[in-house]
Structure formats: C-alpha cells, structure tokens
Amino acid sequence: MSTSATANETNAAKATRYYLSRPDIEEADVQAVVGVLRSPNLALGPKLDAFEKAFAEYVGRRWAVAVNSGTSGLHLAVRALGIADGDEVITTPFSFVASANCMLYERAVPRFVDIDPVTLNMNTSRIAKAITARTKAILPVHIFGLPCEMDSVMATARKYNLPVIEDACEAIGATYRGRKAGSFGDAAVFAFYPNKQMTTGEGGMLVTDSGEIAEAARSMRNQGRSADGAWLDHVRLGYNYRMDEMSAALGLAQLSRIESILARRAEVASWYAEALSRVEGVRVLAEAGGATRSWFVYVVEVARGTERGAVLARLEAAGVQSRAYFPPIHLQPFYRQKFGYKPGDFPVCEDVAGRTLTLPFYNTLAREDVEEIVGRLAAAL
C-alpha cells in the first residue's frame, strides 16, 4: 500500500465522528460484572441461572439456554431437532450468513425463498412451493428487528408437520399480533453482540417450550455432559458453547432495563424517519402486517440507479460510518462455489441488497446528531 493511501485511511479514521453502533453500558452494568469477578463463580454459576429464568419469562417461554453466541444457539437448535445430512431447511437469503451456516454445520442444506420487497422478510407465500420430501424445518429470520409473518409460517408448518426455528437474533422485544418474537417456533434464538439492542459482549440465548430441546441444548453447550451435571459423563457429542458468568451478569443487568433501551432506540428511529422524510431518493423501513419492530440497526434503501458505493465513500469521508447491509447469502463466494448460485436466482433479495445501507444508530445519539447525519447523507446522495 502506498504512503498516500495509508495517510488517507488514517485521516478518514480520525475524521470519523459518528460510528455505526455503540453499546449502551451504564454503571450498574459495570458493577454487575465486577461483582462476579469478586466472587468464586466465573462459569456455570448463579448469574447464568438467573439470566436464563428472567429471559424465558420476558419472552414468554418455559425454558431458556444461554450460549456464547447467537450462531451457537442456532446450531444447537438445528442439532436438537435432528436435522442432519442432506436435510433441507427453508429460510431467507437476506440475512447475516449464520442463519444459513447453522445448517451446514450438520451437513444439511439451506433452501432459500425470495423476500418480500416491503418487509424484507422471507416471502411466506413462497414457502409451500419450496417444500420437498427432504424438507425438515422452516427457519424464518426477523430481519432488522421486524417479525416475519408468523401466522403464515406457522400455518404452513402445521400443514406439512414441520418444526420452526425462529432466528430472533435481531428482534428482542419485537411483537407480532401482540406476542413477542421468539414465542412462536419450536425453538427461537436471540443474540447479544455489542451492536444488538442489549449486549453480553458475546452471547446468545435459545428459548423453547420443549423440555427435550432445552435438555439437549443445555447438554450440548457443555461438551455433551449429562443432565445431572456429572463433570466427566458425556452422553452425546457436545461443544464448548457456554456463556460465562460475567456475560450472564451483564445480560441480567441489561435485561432489567430492556424496555427503556428499546424505547430510546425507537425514539432515535423516529428522529431519523422525520429527518429522512425531507430527503429525496431514500426509503425508510416501516412496520407492517401486525408486527412492531424492535430497532436493531437503522437501514434505508436508496433509489435504483444510485451509486451506493460512492455514497458510502462520501459518508465515510464526511465522518459517518455506514455499511451495505446485508449482501445476499446465496451470492457469498462460498455459497456460489458450493451450491452454484448465480445472480438472478433471488431477484427481489438482490435488488434490495444492492440498495440498502445502514446509518449510525445507538442510544446516545441526540436529535441534532441525527439531523447532521441525515444532512451528510443528503449531501452524499
């Protein structure tokens, strides 16, 4: 790399004023973690149990199993349902890659269906046509915190006797027709990465009403140990997917104020919507179909024909971090090589993915910050 290129990158980094995301950490969160560090229990202790119970109650499920990431939770859900070699799971190509990778870990195959151009969720009217003799489950993703059309998903699942795994990693606190996201499927998974609504640093949670799924997940996250907790008694293949006590303590503290966190994010989102209404060539995402969004990231669509890459570069130069969100899973190099996907396979997803971008979004943004960011976006456009 040339000296001038390096200098330009350094200057751009110094110029950044508005970062893409920031976790909401208060002093009570810090003290919760410090309290664990002063205790003799750093793993598999009382904070983990308390976090699981509180989270299950919040979502409205019987059991919750804390893990070290949302990806791990999805993997355990797939494995607990017995999905294996050659089985197919219907899902969306417009998501973070983990929602499809979790099937590949068990040598199963994600079978994509295209998305709805308004909600950006899986087009549920296409699910039935995608079902084959090898279909073993449906995995809807509540994209950007907006619940998928779960009435349709569950009706199709019942008709074809298929289990449902909800990827609710971006949707804590979201609701669909009065019920919380994550309360519909045989299992659901949430994630707590630092850019999520609440965080444990790294971490995730599997929730279910099935004692069998909960027991299997709890065993598999802990090296396949037996339910009685015998330390060297391994009854099944397992993994080190445990959540540590520090993360659980942070999660418990964050969960105690989740409603205020979500309300603040909704307020910031409302400021964006108002400011962006004055900008030509931008569509903001809306709620639809009886669903209430839990704001994970703030995504906008630019008009067709807009050079999005140039817009992103101008925003970066103006001190505003932004990213293309999400690239289609089926066009990721690994998926193209393994499955032979090509442009045009899922045209709605590809059109949307080519025009979406995220703007800085976190609780500590002030209204004037949002106005300034939107002004810089308008200039970049």
Residues 287-301: tens digit of each pLDDT: 787 999 999 999 999
- Positive or negative, the CA dihedral 159, 180, 122, 87 is negative
Residue range of the domain that includes 316: 258-380
Last residue of a domain, one of 255, 276, 292: 255
- Residues in Cβ contact with 152 at an 8 Å cutoff, skipping those fewer than 6 apart: 124, 125, 127
Cα dist from 229 to 69, 105, 158, whole Å: 22, 26, 35
Same domain flag for 103 and 240: yes
**What tens-digit pLDDT sequence spans the chain (381 residues)?**
444 444 444 454 446 799 999 999 999 999 999 999 999 999 999 999 999 999 999 999 999 999 999 999 999 999 999 999 999 999 999 999 999 999 999 999 999 999 999 999 999 999 999 999 999 999 999 999 999 999 999 999 999 999 999 999 999 999 999 999 999 999 999 999 999 999 999 999 999 999 999 999 999 999 999 887 677 889 999 999 999 999 999 999 999 999 999 999 999 999 999 999 999 999 999 878 799 999 999 999 999 999 999 999 999 999 999 999 999 999 999 999 999 999 999 999 999 999 999 999 999 999 999 999 999 999 999
Check: CB of residue 322 under 8 Å from CB of residue 312.
yes
Distance (Å, whole) CA 319 – CA 272: 18
Same domain flag for 129 and 106: yes
Structurally, the chain folds into a number of domains equal to 2
Check: CB of residue 217 under 8 Å from CB of residue 280.
no
Same domain flag for 264 and 167: no
pLDDT at position 287 is 75
Same domain flag for 248 and 310: no
> Is the residue at 11 inside a domain?
no
The CATH number of whichever domain residue 333 belongs to comes to 3.90.1150.10
Stated as kind and residue range, the H or E segment containing 296 is none
> Is the residue at 2 inside a domain?
no
Distance (Å, whole) CA 218 – CA 76: 9
Last residue of a domain, one of 207, 223, 255: 255
With 0-12 / 13-18 / 19 or more C-beta atoms within 10 angstroms meaning exposed / middle / buried, residue 44 is middle
- 204-208/187-191 β-pairing: antiparallel
pLDDT at position 227 is 80
Same domain flag for 88 and 183: yes
Distance (Å, whole) CA 88 – CA 196: 29
Distance (Å, whole) CA 211 – CA 369: 47
The CATH number of whichever domain residue 101 belongs to comes to 3.40.640.10
pLDDT at position 9 is 44
